[in-house]
Amino acid sequence: MSKKFLLVLSAILIVVGVGGLLIWVFFIAETQNGSIPVKGNESTLYTFLAITVLGMITTGISMSASNEEGKKVSKKAVLSGLAIAVFFFIWRLSVTL
């Protein structure tokens, strides 16, 4: 996979995940008088969460691949990108708890 394609893919996933969630929350809050009902909307929230996590993983891989030579992403870049994404995810999870 080329580095440029990975960068574009990660940008699209982050924009769709976070932007789509914000647009969805805005419209739901507007129709529900300012409250966002989680019950009954779990599948939508999990979909946005999965897209955002995939975007986070591809961004980590893209960040680690940007330091290497060549146009292709190496196995080392993929593993270090996954480590960056897991570390960031655990850090954010620990901050919210």
Give pLDDT tens digits for 34-59. Answer: 777 888 888 888 898 889 888 888 88
b/e per residue 56-93 (b: at least 16 CB within 10 A): bbbbbbbbbbeeeeeeebeeebbebbeebbeeeeeeee
Residue 1: pLDDT band by 50, 70, 90 thresholds? confident
Confidence class for position 97, pLDDT limits 50, 70, 90:
confident
pTM, two decimal places: 0.74
Give residue 31's pLDDT: 81
User: Residue 52 has what pLDDT?
Assistant: 86
pLDDT at 85: 81
Residue 80 confidence class, pLDDT cut points 50, 70, 90: confident
Report pLDDT for 37: 81
